[in-house]
Structure 1
């Protein structure tokens, strides 16, 4: 792990102050730093590479930002099978491994090859329109089919392996990975799932009937959601970021993706340590 690629959130670090600190610290541990040209143009330190070379040369990708930055970067990194390490600049930082105060210790461990790598499953959503694949997306957290800002409740039919599951009058439906079970799905009343498992989680968003409950199904199953509304503002969103407007009779097919995200772990913290510290203890503090 001697060639480090960095992907910072320059919306939060507008003039690159924290990014330059990170680069300087990486260099001080005898490692090389690479970044894409738009980042180099801000920080003026390290080595600039175009995307096609960036992912070939780097041994590990460091993401400087919050969970949103991490998710966006993870989707870009996953096809290249590179480990990814998140450094938290956000508020919650559930996916990011390292807090800013832990940076020196993390870099020392990385330089001395003291780390582990964990694989996390992703899901692929295929939007089928008029019988053809209109768009495809891979997600680490979740795929949401939900109403827009001004829509009333929407109406969706859900199937698993082509078997009808239920009709959902709701604000929407979520299909999540175990990693995503602590994200939007948790807010919608879904269960917390150990991210080392592989399964699919179907969670209704504000269902308008009390009998619609979250469903956990096998990772190799296929979930199909059919849009039955004709005049509603309905969106398909991926990890809460990328998305597309849906129309009546659109079919969204969600499967386990062939891609995986490889999380690099520096700290000896379990998922339950993170869960307790990031969610439970934070809630106690707020109360």
Structure 2
């Protein structure tokens, strides 16, 4: 289906983003595509405002994000169940999600206008925090859910179950449950594996485990992962996609499963997940 309405959302504190937003809007309009602009983006670009991120997500066919990977994570969080396909144009260094430099904005606009964008389907996590059967928090994550010790330099104990069966008790600084998209973020820094976007799995990665045999565990994305603190002696926190951490109450349980909604992430025709990996991780060799 041809894209008719473009939603434009920018990281307004990025240098040069106001001019880029105006240039992108002009290019879309020259190709007779309607552009609706998020409130803060409209303010810096001196354009007509069309609403909040959530409102833009409701009304658009495709969201163009000007910023970095963190900007896309924020848009995914704000859009929630109204999430639409996203194409990221990077303002700064290239990321894993925003793979096109701002200097190539005309190429991006042309590819969108002519229907040459390719899409990668990205699974999201549904993260639910509850206690005594009462739901305290229910959110989606594109990258990961992190259960950690916070600022206190002590190990915490976390009990993990997969589909109701005990996995193990982790004695570590924390635990990361990541999607394939999130496998190249915090989980990778903690020693986790890189997962291709369509692999159909999640990864459970401990952060600095005390037991050397505690390593990343890959599970099907149809699994239900349950995490609960093994002790209330020290504070434990939950952070989803890098958002403000929430302190876990007594008898807290975290249930993580694949969300019903998914993200279609746009790429230019000549860009692939593996080409991005080669660039970002600086892989070289006789065949690269």
- TM-score, scaled to structure 2: 0.91
Q: Following the alignment from structure 2 to structure 1, what is the Cα–Cα distance between the partners of residues 13 and 234?
A: 33
Q: Following the alignment from structure 2 to structure 1, what is the Cα–Cα distance between the partners of residues 257 and 119?
A: 24
1:84 aligns with 2:86: yes
Answer whether contact 2:54 2:82 (CA < 8 A) is retained.
Answer: no
Aligned residues: CA RMSD: 2.1
Answer whether contact 1:5 1:59 (CA < 8 A) is retained.
Answer: yes
Q: Following the alignment from structure 1 to structure 2, what is the Cα–Cα distance between the partners of residues 52 and 92?
A: 25
Matched with 1:93 is: 95
Deviation at 1:30, TM superposition (A): 2.8
Answer whether contact 2:144 2:179 (CA < 8 A) is retained.
Answer: yes
Mapping for residues 1-287 of structure 1, pairs under 5 Å: 1-13=3-15, 16-49=18-51, 53-77=55-79, 79-281=81-283
Flag structure 1 segments of 5+ consecutive residues without an equivalent.
Answer: none
Q: Following the alignment from structure 1 to structure 2, what is the Cα–Cα distance between the partners of residues 279 and 253?
A: 32
Q: Following the alignment from structure 1 to structure 2, what is the Cα–Cα distance between the partners of residues 245 and 72?
A: 21
Number of positions where the alignment pairs a residue of Structure 1 with one of Structure 2: 283
Answer whether contact 2:9 2:53 (CA < 8 A) is retained.
Answer: no
Deviation at 1:141, TM superposition (A): 0.7
Answer whether contact 2:17 2:66 (CA < 8 A) is retained.
Answer: no
Note the alpha carbon deviations across 1:56-105, whole angstroms, 9 max, x for none: 33221001111111111123335225211011113341111321122111
Q: Following the alignment from structure 1 to structure 2, what is the Cα–Cα distance between the partners of residues 72 and 90?
A: 17
SS in structure 2 at match of 1:169: strand
Give structure 1 regions of 4+ aligned residues with deviation exceeding 4 angstroms.
50-53
Flag structure 2 segments of 5+ consecutive residues without an equivalent.
Answer: none
SS in structure 1 at match of 2:281: helix
Deviation at 1:256, TM superposition (A): 0.9
- TM-score, scaled to structure 1: 0.91
